[in-house]
Amino acid sequence: MDKGLPDNQYVKILPKGWIHLSPLEAQTDPEFLLPLKGEIGRRWPMTSLLDVLKEADLRIRFTREFQSGTEREHLNRTVLQPRLLLCLYALGTNTGLKRMASGQEEATYKDLLYVRRRFITAEQLRRAITQVVNATLSIRQPEIWGEATTACASDSKQFGAWDQNLLTEWHVRCGGRGVMVYWHVAQRSTCIYSQLKSCSSSEAGAMIEGVLRHCTEMTVKRQYVDSQEQSEVAFAFCHLLGFQLMPRLKAIPRQRLYRPGTGMQEAFPGLQAILSRPIDWDLIREHYDIMIKYGTALRLGTADAKNLLRRFTRSNLRHPVYKALAELAKAIKTTFLCRYLHEAKLRQEVNEGLNVVENWNSANSFIFYGKGGELATNRRDDQEIGLLSLHLLQVFVVYVNTLIIQKTLAEPV
């Protein structure tokens, strides 16, 4: 970075020790994107979301994942399948079972309520989501979508909720009361994991938890996050767990780089204004074993990421392992910052990944439109099932859109 700084037209080091980073230029749209959208709109002008749900089940048979919690099932699968689809549609759109029962005659409200209570749980929804995501990854044609990616972006979205429960909180940054849903979305717009959380819980912990606990066939090697979802300890744990944390840093002017070692005061003349003290490698070496134990506990699931990160905060500054983790994080973050400032393509890659998850969030209000998009329940289990059903509907849309695009592009014209 020091050698390339004179030729870097986007980065300037100001005399008072601030980093000036020019914004990236907007990319042009692909040449054939609008004709492709027009052709798809001509062939499938009004596609019902319920038809998308049915088509996905005909191809994947995901409703087999929904089994009764008891030993016997009295309902025939030919009767149970449409009722399951109606229940998932009602929960995923937040319209409710009564609205779905009033629009058709094959199943009453009591029939749908029986299926909802007997067959739909959070664990079964997660298995169905995993099945649909894996099916989407398997049908993608490399000549259209490129080779399999290992990059994923994550972000949270606030949903309004009733406030007579322990999970709903007032969000300081977004404003309003509600709960948060944390999404992990791959570069090709497939959400591999979602989790319900409170507004004040650690977003860095939710990010690590999603990378470790998703059960899809995708391998995450690069994780894009916004500025509020990264911390020094998160950099350290992500490195120990084998993937790169790549945030879009908001406070770029105040960032500092740490020297690789002692006796290098004049080694980087162009970066003197933003260089800080050397990394304490001896401290990292001294507590390396215990850091590996914490990372292994996270990977095996014997420790929760949010609770573990809560132990290593600035309020516990004198903890020796926290000091070692902070030193390791400073080394990893310095490496990332040098690459982030030196390579415009890396900044473009991070922005592109985060734009994908922002587009994913924009579809939430379009699909989850019932009751004004508010979770009208005080039970946490019902809130989680409703939002997992929303996740399931969205991955259905991605799956069917993939098939539609590939079918359209298969014709030479």
- Residue in the structure block whose two tokens are 């994908």: 356
* The pLDDT of residue 79: 92
* The pLDDT of residue 413: 82
- Residue in the structure block whose two tokens are 């054939």: 32
The Cα 90–Cα 50 span in angstroms is: 10
Task: Give residues with Cβ within 8 angstroms of 351, minimum separation 6.
Answer: 24, 248
pLDDT, tens digit, for every residue of 264-288? 878 888 889 899 999 999 999 999 9
- Residue in the structure block whose two tokens are 């404003």: 175
- Residue in the structure block whose two tokens are 């087999």: 64
**Taking a C-beta distance cutoff of 8 angstroms, is the pair 128, 65 a contact?**
yes
* The pLDDT of residue 313: 75
Strand 222-226 relative to strand 177-186, pairing? unpaired
* The pLDDT of residue 82: 93
**Taking a C-beta distance cutoff of 8 angstroms, is the pair 198, 180 a contact?**
yes
* The pLDDT of residue 317: 73
Q: Give the residue ranges of the chain where pLDDT is below 70.
A: 314-315
> 105 to each of 101, 111, 113, 206, how far by Cα in Å?
7, 11, 15, 43
Nearest Cα residue to 386 out of 361, 363, 369, 362: 369
pLDDT, tens digit, for every residue of 57-70? 999 999 999 998 88
**Taking a C-beta distance cutoff of 8 angstroms, is the pair 240, 231 a contact?**
no
Burial of 185 (0-12, 13-18, 19+ CB in 10 A): buried
Tokens of 149: 């990616």
Handedness of CA 278, 282, 288, 290 (dihedral sign): negative
- Residue 96's region, left for phi above 0, alpha for psi from -120 to 50, else beta, is left
**Taking a C-beta distance cutoff of 8 angstroms, is the pair 278, 264 a contact?**
yes
pTM of the model: 0.92
Nearest Cα residue to 62 out of 122, 3, 130, 109: 130
**Taking a C-beta distance cutoff of 8 angstroms, is the pair 389, 125 a contact?**
yes
